[in-house]
Structure 1
Amino acid sequence: MKTTEHTELIRRFADDFTALQEAVLSQMNGVCAPETAAALEHASLVGPVTVVLAHADVLARGAVRRAELSVQPPERLRQLRAHARRVRRARSQAETRYKEERARRLGRRSRPVDPLEWRVARTAFTSAFHETLRQELRDRGLPDGTPQAPESDLAQWAWDRRTAGGELPAPVRALRDCDDDAFVEALLRDAREEENPYLPHDAVVERWSRHARAAQAWGRYAIGRAERDVLACPLSARRTRLDALDDAYQDTAVLAARSREALLRVTDLHDRMRTDVTTGPFAELLGQCRAAALARFAAAEPAAWRGVCELVARHRVDCPEQTDGCPHCHHALAAVLADAPPADTDDDGEHSAAVPADADRYALLTDLPDTAVVAVADAAAGDESALSGYGWAAEDGTTGHGDSFASSSGEAEVIGVCAAALSLLERHEHAPVVVLCDSTEAVGVVEAVLRSGDPAASHRTLLFPESRQLMDSLVRHRHRHRVQVRWLKGHIGHDLNETADALARLALRRATGRIPPSAARREETRIVRSLGSGAGRLPAAA
């Protein structure tokens, strides 16, 4: 194949989404022409291939779901499931290849290595050194922050100065300035109606990527509602509603592809920002700030600085990496100065957050009055649609379960907590109610709302109207101080926890039509009966 033809084919795949997807799927199925396979290996297509496979993955799962709900012949269903597995496998492989290609691209870039003394001082005496750097930045009229790209205010400041050449187009300003709900609506219109050419603009692309997950959640919400409509009618009358389910999967496939595209564009933006802060005038400014901060540190902490210099001098005598600037040696040297084992660090040398020693704690119930009613709530979130199930079991022997819509496992868990609390508040008019849950996110959200009395405190987690209505109902009881929510370590053998989990999974299977009603009733009876006499009060350290 001629070079010009090969280049033209690559260009065509880069510009034509449909052509690229057809080529990728034909390669996946082993029927790809050699010249097409060669073009698909080009580095410029590594990212776009992940986009088309994100789209194909949702469509493949949608085809399986339609076949399940329309009772297709077993052989047809097996074929569709096998295709969906192949697409999922190809998507995983494409994502891996993209990460490897990106790592190679970053590895080829020469990144200046800071002086070893600077890195050792920063790592061993983090607080003191960062204070000197902050002082230096303030004296120069620069924003606070460590000069790491693209996360810090200083890097963002430099990028904004470099790119502030002209006025933003009006549609870009509108996207930048609108509230979050309006921005998500714009993403939904982009997927369902007409592609928005302004989303990739540097001024809004990070916001696009940040809110793409919320837009995808609304796509899954549409799938869940369509799925529920299909299951509500007999097989003979499902044709129209199955078409609506297809439409919901089509929209969600576009949302998945656009979400992946947003991530690729943000990655490209961050790469350009990194280049900007490691080369040219801004890199020189950073070097001056660091050198001045180091001088400030040496003057403020002379004993510490002397220890750094002496240790580095001894180290350089026989270090095999000395010619490369000892790029990784500062961790061990800083540990010697701190008289502690090397701390876990990220790629930029910053300290990772330590895991607290009591992270594996349990819910302590020793402070509860004897009149308190204690229950455990759990939830099960679906993979393909927003349908979710919840279940709860209480010490008084009562249980409950049901289904709703959730954008995440956290939202599903909050639904379970609210449903359990509201049911027990109604059943026990004066007793305090304590609901345990193994989701730290859900516990934090409900606690924040009960403490503040403002349901809006939960809106970052609660996306859908069903969960927000439950939270609004629960917050009305806060003035009586009758509701508490606490964290409980999950799946450690407690009867109430296991019962709640089993009921949540049963509710999800029933909501998605994966268990017949008669079998669901038998399963519910078995779960509740297995709780039986074991539903006594939880131990003091549960």
Structure 2
Amino acid sequence: MTITEHTQLVRRFADDFTALQEAVLARTNGICAPETAAALDHASLTGPITVVLAHADVLARGAVRRAELSAQLPERLRRLRAHARTVRRARSQAEARYKEQRARRVTGRSRPVDALESRVARRASPAAFAEALRRELRDRGLPDGTPQAPESDLARWAWERKAADGELPAPVRDLRDCDDDAFVQALLRDAREEENPYLPHDAVVERWSRHARTALAWGRYAIGRAERDALACSPATRRTRLDALDDAYQDTAVLAARSREALLRATDLHDRMRACTTTGPVAELIAQCRAAAVARFADAEPEVWHRVRELTAEHRAHCPEQADGCPHCHRALAAVLAGARPAGTGEDTGTDEDGDGEHPTATAPADVDRYALLADLPDTAVVAVADAAVGDESALCGYGWAAEDGTTGHGDSLASSSGEAEVIGICAAALSLLEHHEDAPVVLLCDSTEAVDAVDTALRSADPATAHRTLLFPESRQLLDRLVRHRHRVQVRWLKGHIGHDLNETADAFARLALRRTGGRIPPSAVRKEEARILRSLGSGAGPLSIAA
């Protein structure tokens, strides 16, 4: 194969999604021509291959699910499952190769390190240095923040500073300026109706990448609803419902591919914008402004600056990273300058890394760790533990709960994440207990900090909307709306999971049972037997556990 033919084949794969996917799957199945395999190894295709495999992965799992629900022959089902495993493994390997390639690219293009004195001064006296920088920018006629590239919204930053030429096209402006819900709807139309050519534009590609996961969650929501509809019919009458399930998987496969593409494009934008801040006019402007700001800082804070220079000179005398400019040393030096212990010294500071005042090594005995958080509750409080389980393929989730009074419950819903599923479990359990205990306070324990924080914030503020960052789907939002009406009788608290807490283990078992039941992976006739088995093996407490009505 000539170099020209090889180049043309690489170009064809880069431009033709279907051709690339067919070639990648052929290689995955071991039936790829040598010239095709050589073309697929080209560095420019490393990212696109992850896109086509994200698409193929969803379709392969969809084929398995349809076969499971349509009573296919066991041999065919085994082949489909083996193919799905092969595609999933190829996808993981492709993503690992892409990460390695980008790591090498970024390493070879590292940004220059500022002078150590400048970095120590900025970190030790941020307010004084910021004021010196503002004065320098003002004297140059530049807006605040110009010489500092942000960590996100780099495209907007570049456009505002005329780093890009021309005006934004009207469709791009519409995508940039619409609210989040409208933007997600645009992503769903892009996948389900017609590809939007303006999403890859530099001005909106970061937003596309941020919201692609939300759009993908709505794809999984459609799969979950289609699964429910199919399972509601007998196997003999499921044909039309299974066609709808196929459609949902097709849409979700496109959403998965577009989500991956958005990430690749946003990463490329990030690399290009970072390059702009380390080379050329922008880099020169940044260096000039910071150098001038250091001079102003030295004039305004002569004693601090003198100490900075002394400290850095002493440090350079023995630092093994001096040849590289001491790229990571400024944090510890600034801490010394500020009179604090340097981070990472291993000394006991009395606080943890999250700043919540609890030292991570100050562990309590096992029993206290499990039960001390209930010591302040009134004797009349009804305490229960809730848990949830989510699947990989659709938004279907299962939840379960177990209370100290011996009652338990489980059910299913639709959730975009494990956090949302846990919130559903908390709300369902609390509402059931509130109904059966008219006056007693109800306390729900859960091992998900995200879910506990979301529900607690909503209860304290009396506003379910405060949890909407965690809750995407209407099912969970409606449950929380109902629970907030009883906020004066409900508390939620965190419980460390998987430490042998009987109620936690029971809730977890019921959640997994509910997920299997709603996905049709356990026959209805076996559900009661499984419930009884869970109660026998995991139930304990004041009395025999029973299933709540």
Normalising by the residue count of structure 2, what TM-score does the alignment of the two structures yield? 0.89
Q: What residue number does 1:465 align with?
A: 474
- TM-superposed deviation, 1:341: 4.5
Q: Secondary structure at the match of 1:513?
A: coil
Identity score, percent: 80
Matches within 5 A, 1:202-351: 202-317=202-317, 321-330=321-330, 333=333, 340-343=341-344
Post-superposition CA distance 1:422-461 (Å, at most 9, x none)? 1111111111111111111111111222222222222222
CA RMSD of aligned residues (A): 2.7
447-456 or 499-508: bigger deviation: 447-456
- TM-superposed deviation, 1:483: 1.1
Aligned length: 528
Distance in 2 between residues matched to 1:152 and 1:70, nearest whole Å? 47
Name structure 2 gaps, 5 residues minimum.
Answer: 346-352, 364-368, 544-549
- TM-superposed deviation, 1:419: 0.4
Post-superposition CA distance 1:40-93 (Å, at most 9, x none)? 111111110110010011111111111222222222222212211111111111
The 8 Å contact of residues 424 and 476 in structure 2, kept in 1 or not, is answered as yes
- TM-superposed deviation, 1:503: 0.7
Q: Secondary structure at the match of 1:72?
A: coil
- TM-superposed deviation, 1:116: 2.2
Residues 165 and 322 (structure 1), Cα distance of their counterparts in 2 relative to 1, 3 Å cut: same
| Alignment counterpart, residue 531 of structure 2, candidates 524, 527, 530 | 524
Residues 326 and 473 (structure 1), Cα distance of their counterparts in 2 relative to 1, 3 Å cut: closer
Q: What residue number does 2:77 align with?
A: 77
Q: What residue number does 1:502 align with?
A: 509
Distance in 1 between residues matched to 2:129 and 2:155, nearest whole Å? 19
| Alignment counterpart, residue 436 of structure 2, candidates 418, 427, 437 | 427
Matches within 5 A, 1:41-80: 41-80=41-80
Residues 107 and 91 (structure 1), Cα distance of their counterparts in 2 relative to 1, 3 Å cut: same
The 8 Å contact of residues 150 and 156 in structure 1, kept in 2 or not, is answered as no
The 8 Å contact of residues 147 and 154 in structure 1, kept in 2 or not, is answered as no
- TM-superposed deviation, 1:301: 4.3
Q: What residue number does 2:496 align with?
A: 489
- TM-superposed deviation, 1:208: 1.0
Residues 492 and 144 (structure 1), Cα distance of their counterparts in 2 relative to 1, 3 Å cut: farther
- TM-superposed deviation, 1:158: 4.6
Distance in 1 between residues matched to 2:477 and 2:97, nearest whole Å? 40
One-letter code of the match for 1:47? G
Distance in 2 between residues matched to 1:385 and 1:126, nearest whole Å? 48
Q: What residue number does 1:194 align with?
A: 194
Q: Secondary structure at the match of 2:114?
A: coil
Residues 343 and 287 (structure 1), Cα distance of their counterparts in 2 relative to 1, 3 Å cut: farther
Matches within 5 A, 1:329-478: 329-330=329-330, 333=333, 340-343=341-344, 357-358=358-359, 364-478=373-487
The 8 Å contact of residues 155 and 269 in structure 2, kept in 1 or not, is answered as no
Distance in 2 between residues matched to 1:289 and 1:30, nearest whole Å? 57
Distance in 2 between residues matched to 1:96 and 1:56, nearest whole Å? 17
Distance in 2 between residues matched to 1:382 and 1:198, nearest whole Å? 33
One-letter code of the match for 1:392? W
Q: Secondary structure at the match of 2:162?
A: helix
The 8 Å contact of residues 142 and 154 in structure 1, kept in 2 or not, is answered as no
Distance in 1 between residues matched to 2:343 and 2:439, nearest whole Å? 54
Normalising by the residue count of structure 1, what TM-score does the alignment of the two structures yield? 0.90
One-letter code of the match for 2:482? S
Distance in 1 between residues matched to 2:44 and 2:255, nearest whole Å? 22
Q: What residue number does 2:546 align with?
A: none
Q: Secondary structure at the match of 2:439?
A: coil
Residues 34 and 270 (structure 1), Cα distance of their counterparts in 2 relative to 1, 3 Å cut: same
One-letter code of the match for 2:518? A
Distance in 1 between residues matched to 2:312 and 2:222, nearest whole Å? 61
17-26 or 448-457: bigger deviation: 448-457
One-letter code of the match for 2:76? R
- TM-superposed deviation, 1:135: 6.0
Q: Secondary structure at the match of 1:201?
A: coil
